[in-house]
Amino acid sequence: MLCICSLLLIDPVLCVLLASSGNLNQTKASSEKGNEKSEIAKLPKIGEVVTTERALELCVHYDLNYLAERIEDNPDHFKEWEFDGCSMTPTEVVSKIIKVPSLAEICLRHDLGYAYGDPGNEEERLMVDRQFQSELLNAGASEYVAKTMFNAVREGGKEKYCLPFSWSFARVEPCTRGSGYRLKK
């Protein structure tokens, strides 16, 4: 799931978020399409288990068609997972501090990208992380906060760590710390 920061970075990141909260871009940058979609889907709550079937629905809802196809093609390659908001952070508190009310939803979309990401595909992972950064900016986060959160997921979400929020975390295959997922041929 989305890792805002590694264990070593959690305090500095929260300090950065607290310190920069007064200088944030206060724009309300939600598209009509985004608002309409938010009303249509019932999002999982923090702590709720996301089954593969539910993840497929969410991927279709958010137009993450490449992920939906991946799930549909090989549903037995994936396991359920627990949505934890923005991993390793008190998501609701951070949302208020950085003045991004849609933070949990932004983190959910990022989590879907990470959960069903193609193991070993750093290009896809970078695309997912850049989208995350862009969504933060569009939702009103300052450039500094968005860049800090981007850097945190780039470091903390590496597949080789095999953490519950690392790249491809919804895979059934075993993950070996240091090398990542070993896919069956």
Band (126; pLDDT cuts 50, 70, 90): very high
User: For residue 72, how many other CB atoms are within 10 A of its CB?
Assistant: 12
Residue boundaries of the structural domains of the chain: 33-181
Cα radius of gyration rounded to whole Å, the chain:
16
Summarize pLDDT for 14-63 with one digit per residue, the tens.
444 444 444 433 333 334 444 445 444 688 999 999 999 999 999 999 99
pLDDT given for residue 180 in this prediction: 72
Q: pTM of the full predicted structure?
A: 0.78
For residue 175, what are the β-bridge partners? 181
Rounded to whole angstroms, how far apart are CA atoms 142 and 20? 8
Assess contact for 165 and 2: CB atoms under 8 A.
yes
Assess contact for 103 and 142: CB atoms under 8 A.
no
